[in-house]
């Protein structure tokens, strides 16, 4: 009796595989893992290179930082001039003895100018970190901008009132108006950082 599985095309008697039934799904090979059931894993997310709207830096934040850099640069220049003026008023008071400063007054003035310089340099650093989407430096910069605006506003009012006297020149009034403008710009910086668009941008920073 001949081998029922042997033939001219199959001389070794190995049973050929049966073709799958038309309504039967093909089974995966033994070395392949079966596919996971649908809905078990979330679909993969592919990077497209696009940034969401919350990741773009809002214009008010950039404007506030640029204004801070400009105001701090002007402030540092004025403070350096003030240091020269305080030291000069102590060394050489001029013909008017009322303009002379004692050593104690000079030291107090230099300490106040040094504190202002430190606050100004801190504001520059906070503005740089605020551009990097740091929430803490943003709040610190807002506080510094408000304090700076209040100090400048008080100085401007004093200069305008003093310059409005008949015995003084109008240059002090013009200086008071310029200082008041700086105070308004500083307040504008704080306002820009407190806008809702800026708040959403800082709140969306990944931790």
DSSP per-residue string spanning the chain:
---TT--SS-TT-PPPPPPPPTTSPPPPPTTSPPPPPTTSSPPP----S---GGGSPPHHHHHHHHHHHHHHHHHHHHHHHHHHHHHHHHH---S-GGG---HHHHHHHHHHHHHHHHHHHHHHHHHHHHHTT-HHHHHHHHHHHHHHHHHHHHHHHHHHHHHTSTTS-THHHHHHHHHHHHHHHHHHHHHHHTSHHHHHHHHT---
Of 25-34, 125-134, 166-175, which has the strongest mean pLDDT? 125-134
Give the number of domains in the chain: 1
* Tokens of residue 20, six digits: 């799958």
Q: What is the pLDDT at residue 89? A: 75
3-state secondary structure 24-66: CCCCCCCCCCCCCCCCCCCCCCCCCCCCCHHHCCCHHHHHHHH
Q: Is the pLDDT of residue 1 over 60?
A: no
Whether residue 25 lies inside any domain: the answer is: no
136 lies in which domain range?
A: 57-201
Mean pLDDT check: name the lowest of 66-80, 100-114, 116-130. Answer: 100-114
In a domain, 119, yes or no: yes
Is 100 a member of any domain?
yes
Indicate whether 17 belongs to any domain: no
pLDDT: which is higher, 182 or 41:
182
Is residue 193 a part of any domain in this protein? yes
Give the mean model confidence (pLDDT) for residues 8-16: 55
| Percent share of the chain, pLDDT over 90 | 39
Largest CA distance in the chain: 140
CB atoms < 10 A from the CB of 54, how many?
13
Residue 38 lies in a domain: no
**Lookup: tokens for 82:** 């003030």
**Taking residues 163-185, what's their average pLDDT?**
79
How far apart CA 61 and CA 51 sit, in angstroms, is: 18
């Amino acid at each position: 009796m001949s081998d029922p599985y042997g033939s001219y095309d199959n001389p070794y008697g190995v049973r050929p595989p049966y073709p799958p039934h038309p309504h039967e799904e093909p089974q995966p090979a033994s070395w392949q893992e079966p596919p996971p059931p649908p809905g078990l894993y979330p679909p993969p997310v592919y990077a497209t290179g696009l940034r969401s709207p919350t990741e773009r830096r809002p214009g008010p934040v950039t404007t506030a930082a640029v204004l801070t850099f400009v105001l701090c640069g002007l402030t540092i220049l004025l403070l350096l001039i003030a240091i020269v003026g305080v030291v000069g008023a102590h060394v050489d008071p001029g013909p008017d003895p009322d303009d002379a400063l004692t050593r104690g007054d000079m030291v107090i003035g230099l300490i106040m100018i040094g504190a202002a310089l430190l606050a100004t340099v801190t504001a520059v650093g906070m503005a740089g970190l605020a551009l990097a989407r740091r929430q803490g430096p943003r709040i610190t910069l807002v506080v510094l901008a408000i304090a700076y605006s209040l100090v400048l506003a008080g100085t401007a009012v004093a200069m305008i009132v003093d310059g409005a006297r008949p015995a003084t020149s109008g240059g002090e009034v013009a200086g008071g108006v310029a200082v008041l403008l700086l105070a308004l710009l500083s307040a504008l910086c704080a306002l820009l950082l407190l806008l809702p668009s800026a708040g959403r941008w800082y709140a969306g920073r990944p931790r």
